Structure 1
Amino acid sequence: MEDITVLADSRDLLIKVFIKTGGNELYKILHRKNYKIPKNYIQWRELAALISVNAPLFNHSSLDLAQRFTAHRIALWVVKDAPIYCLDNQLLEQFQQTDIGDENLIFKDLVSQIPLHSMMLLLPSKTVVSPDGGYVDWLNIHCSHVRHPEWSVGEKYGLSPHYMTHEDDAVLHFGCVDTKGTIWFSGWGIDEAEGKLKQAKISYGKAPVGKNDDNFVQELRSLTMQCLMFLTFEKLETDNVTFKETINSTGFTPLKEPKEKCLYPRWLREGEKRQARHIRENTSHASPVPHWRRGHWRRAAIGKGRLHRRWNWIKPTFVTGSFE
């Protein structure tokens, strides 16, 4: 499932106009949540505006399916009071250097063990560039299942997203609006009887989809799946962002945490910073060009009788060489 839909010439312009005119009731509610987000990520004022513009659109029949699907999944995030995660820049780079492997097995295991069904994922600013030159700095992610319609319905803050039927047993969607105002929406489903992914090559939007767009959607799909893999199999416990991580360093006495109520996202990062591994080549020839040795995900048998399976992340390593 793939789509690209042009929403506006500039996302920043849309946000500025929306906020300047007072926003809407949803924006006022979300703004009061007062999320403190680390520097180098989209800030809550802008993100809350984007959510408030898009979430109510899921019932607008005049919009194409991509816009409505994206709005519906964002609305679910709102009514579920689902979490926000900030993807650490170092972990993002490692994911970009990791091969996803057998998506069929991964997705099937993910659906059965995934710890959450809706999340907002914030990406470091100006790191993921779309083919139209915009930056993708957030992704809304949602998992839906025919046996668990409660994952995909809710009512709160004036929103009542209904359950949207789908052909497959389970589906995973991601969507966003990049800084150029382009909607990127995609997803995949799985037929549990066959155990195979279903990836329909159709567009739900009005804009044409080119080869560069296909490649970019694959990049976002891999990133989405790896973030969920990391949460499910690598790091079930996550740290909250701290106040000091949300302020700019001034060189003076650190600012004190505000007394007013505020919320903090969760970090999606490793507990300890991994140092790049340097490998000395046993050769008298010129050292090889520094490069990434790509990582991958491996499914291993575990437990009594080795009847259970667990995914392990074999991390990428940065390889350098030297003269002997």
Structure 2
Amino acid sequence: MKNINLDPNNLSRFRTLKLFEKPQRQLLKQIRTDRNYQIPKGYITWHELSAIAGIALSTCQLEYAKTDLSAFLHSHRMALWFCQDAPLYCISQELFQAFDNTDALHKPEVFAGWKPSLPTFLVALPSGVLRSPSGEIDYLCIHSSTDEHPEWESAHWKNIKVPVISGNGLTFDWSTTDKKETVWLSNTAVSSSGELIHNDNNSLGRNKIDQIDRVFLERVRNIVINILLSLEYSPEFISDVAEENLQVQPKGFGVPKQKNNSSSNIRHARWLGKNYQNKRENNNSRTHASPYTHWRRGHWRVIESGEGKRWKKSRRMWIQPVLVNG
């Protein structure tokens, strides 16, 4: 890829993508001809997301790890997502709020025996729900690795081959770039007992991680765990996106004309929690109850199998959070 000169004091995704478009015109045309994601209003556009995928495909080779390891790892995961033709979910604002108020980090029994069914997927976030210490975040790329599926760690598309960089054991990671072009990522190993092992003191990029960053990383890790658990144990949250919810497709360079909507390049994002509504409770009439709006936080419960029960394996039940006086 040709070098793109960026001003470190004036970074923005808009500026980076503009600089990327001209030298990579042909690549972007190939991407947008090959895929045309139908994404609901209020989320990142496919025009923007496809350009992010283009940068990832251009910088997913091992040589880029020497320049910026964190940026390379994010490019690698985004390239896997694109090349594997993996799913794209759009989480609703209400379900995002509920997961943000559900504690999933410190219950190892919940992840005991966890076997991911999806290697890589992308979650688009509603506009404005998540900000990093440096800028807004509108998507998360989530990847799981396991020794049982080494094929999850590689992919290719046209003349681009994504290299294998897998570790050992069962892990999951998430990565993203905010709108100020800061790369955020975190990797978590899962022990046989379900214990979650991570290290937020490692600064893989050019900047040092401080306490504010660690708080943010833990918050997103908690949200990601809830997403992973919901995809495995609460499939009722997944639904199709209706035609009337879709964005108007942009016009301009690099956007191929579509002859019809039945073209094989059409991909449909899926809802995660489209019709979910947060539980609410009014305590104003109760003696000694707090009059303030607050969340009674949710958690996950493990229900073990046993004699007389209908299931043979342990199950996970989401005890949903409740918005009190909201």
Report % sequence identity. Answer: 30
Q: Which amino acid in 1 is paired with 2:292?
A: V
Q: Which amino acid in 1 is paired with 2:218?
A: Q
1:24 to 1:308, Cα distance in 2 relative to 1, 3 A? same
1:148 deviates by 1.4
Partner of 2:252: none
Partner of 1:13: 15
Within 5 Å, give how 1:32-181 maps onto structure 2: 32=33, 33-59=35-61, 60-61=63-64, 62-110=66-114, 112=115, 114-132=116-134, 134-166=135-167, 168-181=168-181
Task: Say whether the 8 Å CA contact 1:88–1:123 is kept in structure 2.
Answer: yes
Provide, for residues 171-216 of structure 1, a one-character-per-residue CA deviation record: whole Å limited to 9, x for no partner: 1111111000100011111343x65332133221121111111111
Unaligned runs of at least 5 residues, structure 2 = 1-7, 249-257
1:11 deviates by 0.6
1:217 to 1:22, Cα distance in 2 relative to 1, 3 A? same
Length-normalised TM-score, structure 2:
0.83
1:222 matches 2:222: yes
1:304 deviates by 4.6
Give the whole-Å Cα distance in 1 for the aligned partners of 2:24 and 2:240: 29
1:244 matches 2:244: yes
1:234 matches 2:234: yes
Give the whole-Å Cα distance in 2 for the aligned partners of 1:180 and 1:241: 29
Task: Say whether the 8 Å CA contact 2:37–2:267 is kept in structure 1.
Answer: yes
1:292 to 1:204, Cα distance in 2 relative to 1, 3 A? same
1:115 deviates by 2.7
RMSD of aligned residue pairs (Cα, Å) = 2.6
1:45 to 1:8, Cα distance in 2 relative to 1, 3 A? farther
Instruction: Report SS of the residue matched to 1:312.
Output: strand
Q: Which amino acid in 1 is paired with 2:196?
A: L
Q: Answer with 59-68 or 39-48: which moved more.
A: 59-68
1:56 deviates by 2.8
Instruction: Report SS of the residue matched to 1:302.
Output: coil
Unaligned runs of at least 5 residues, structure 1 = 1-5, 249-256
Q: How many residues align?
A: 301
1:186 matches 2:189: no
Q: Which amino acid in 2 is paired with 1:316?
A: P
**After TM superposition, which residue ranges in structure 1, 4 or more long, deviate above 6 angstroms?**
none
Task: Say whether the 8 Å CA contact 2:237–2:273 is kept in structure 1.
Answer: no
1:14 to 1:219, Cα distance in 2 relative to 1, 3 A? same
Give the whole-Å Cα distance in 2 for the aligned partners of 1:309 and 1:138: 32
Q: Answer with 215-224 or 152-161: which moved more.
A: 152-161
Provide, for residues 23-55 of structure 1, a one-character-per-residue CA deviation record: whole Å limited to 9, x for no partner: 344422321222121111110000000111123
Provide, for residues 276-309 of structure 1, a one-character-per-residue CA deviation record: whole Å limited to 9, x for no partner: 23345433x7862122111111111135566621
Partner of 1:311: 316
Length-normalised TM-score, structure 1:
0.84
Instruction: Report SS of the residue matched to 2:239.
Output: coil
Instruction: Report SS of the residue matched to 1:244.
Output: helix
